Each structure stands twice: as C-alpha cells, then as structure tokens.
Structure 1
Amino acid sequence: MSWVAKAMESEAQRESFKILVVDDLLENLRLLASLLMAEGYEVKRAPDGSMALSNVPRFQPDLILLDIMMPDMDGYEVCQRLKANPQTQDIPIIFLSALDLTFDKVKAFEVGAADYINKPFHPAEVLARVKNQLKMRQQSLQLQAQQALIQTQQQQLEEATQARQIAEEKCRQMIAVATA
C-alpha cells in the first residue's frame, strides 16, 4: 500500500472516531470541541457528569475527555461508573484537570484513567494524547476481533477433526464388517 493510500486510510479512520468532552466550563468545552472537530473527529459535549453518563450509551464514544472537578458528580465518580459497566469499561478516559498533585494523578489512574492532562492544557499536547489513545483503542479492538476470529476458526477445526474421527471410525467398522 502506498504512503498516500495509508494517509487517506488513516484520515478516514480518524474522521470516524467519536469523542465525548465533559467539562463544566463552557469555554473549555468550546475550545476542546473546536480543536477536535478541526481534526475531523465527531464530538459530543457534556457540561456535567450526569449528562456525560446519559450520553455515553447513545453516542458510544471511542474516547472521553473528562474534567475532574465538577459540581454534583466529579470526574472520578463518572470514571468509576463507566469502568464498572461492562458495556463502557473499555472506553479510554483522559482526565483534564487543574489538580497537579501526584495524589490526584494517582487516584485518576486508580479509578481507570488511560491518561492525564494538566490544565491549562496545550492544544498540541491534547491532540497528541488523543491520537495516541485512539490508536491504542483501535489496536485493542483489532486484537479482540482477531482473537474472536481465531476462536471461531479453532472451534471449526475441532468440529472438523471430530467429524473426521467419526468418519474414520465408520470406515473401520465397514471394513471390519466387509472382511468378516
């Protein structure tokens, strides 16, 4: 495949990625949404944790950018709820926070974060980390699909082996009857 075809395929894949941005500051929502949409991502915004949780099943994001400090439900709780649900547990979550203490970062990873970006953030860093997480997500999904294919093929091979063994046994019985 030529480098042009690879670049076009990469661009097409990126455009299909969906990202949920969760932040209680509207300026951050606007900035992040514009930054990501300019890169071709489909973006949904949520101003709080409750709305984020209600949007995830409908939107089915490939990645979530999640603020930690929000009223009512903080990002840690949102992350814990998503990670506790088998349907959403594999969605990578990048925390965005002004909290810069090691304790806060460690807690973010303990509740299931895939990455952590300090506020104020730099657009280039956000894009690099988003691209990295989406690439890992895509590779993980490809690996899961390949594992499912291998399991299916393994099952088919086992069934074919059993069928061959049954056929061989019938042939032996027929030969034994014919020679008796």
Structure 2
Amino acid sequence: MTKILVVDDDPSNAEVMQMVLESEGFQVERICHSVQFESSIMSFCPDLVLMDILLDADDGRDICNELKADQSTRHIPVMLITAMLESQVGAIACDADAIMFKPFEYTVLVNKVKNVLRSAIKIRN
C-alpha cells in the first residue's frame, strides 16, 4: 500500500486530506507540527510527502529542500500545497516535485497525487 505523509498545521485541513486519500486506498499519516517531520519520515517511510508551505514554525519549501538534499530521502517525492499567490511561492527556491494552490477540488488533489507517484516510479525505474 502506498504511504503518504500529510503535513499541515491546520488539523482540519490535514484530517480532510487524510480522509480523502484513505478513501482512495492510500495509507496516510498526518502531522500538524513541523517538529514531528523528521521522526515521521524515519518511522513511517512515506512514498510521498504532501506538505503545506506555511507551517507552524517552518517553511515547507525549506523542509522540502532539506529532504531532497539528504541522500537517504531525496527519492521521496514532495508535493507542496499553499494558499500563497503563485508569485510569492518562488521567493524561496524549492526542489518540490509539484505545487498545488488552494483552494482546490479534492478530486484534483487525488489525481495530482497519483500523477506525482507515477512520475516518481518512472524515474526510479
């Protein structure tokens, strides 16, 4: 089963994304505090990270870049979600595999998640 780590400091957003993704057959773990990120990556070993950019104490773009800079985790695709304007997102360079802007339809989210996962599998093979 494909595992997705949802990182969003808004518990209701994280819970809804978890429910939507689980209804599609994904195994989902959600965290609402960026300080939990590293331990969740190590214990849950996700196939994809779905993360908000504006988090409680950190910026998702920075966390993404740290993940991609680490040899042991760079293979994990990262999809960022944000309510920021598209022009604001580029203020910090980021190695995310995809970015999705809020508000969005949950069917679009699921399709984009599946596309990112398919692309990551093609790259690894």
- SS of the counterpart of 1:72? coil
Listed as ranges, the matches of 1:158-169 within 5 Å are none
Aligned residue for 2:115?
132
Matched ranges for 1:1-180 at <5 A: 16-104=1-89, 106-107=90-91, 110-141=93-124, 143=125
Q: How far 1:138 moved relative to its partner?
A: 1.8
SS of residue matched to 2:49:
strand
Where 2:104 maps in the other structure, the secondary structure is coil
How many equivalent residue pairs? Answer: 125
CA-CA distance at 1:107 after TM superposition: 4.7
Give CA-to-partner distance per residue, 1:66-94, whole Å, 9 cap, x none: 10111211212211211121111121111
Higher relative contact order (CA 8 A, sep 6+): 2
Gap regions ≥5 residues in structure 2: none
User: 1:21 aligns to what SS in structure 2?
Assistant: strand
Report the identity percentage. 31
Contact kept in structure 2, 1:98 and 1:118, CA below 8 Å: yes
Q: 4+ residue stretches of structure 1 with deviation over 3 A?
A: none
Q: Which structure has the highest helix share of the two?
A: 1
Judge conservation of contact 1:69–1:97 (CA < 8 Å) in 2. Answer: yes
Q: Which has the higher strand share?
A: 2
Gaps in structure 1 of 5+ consecutive residues: 1-15, 144-180
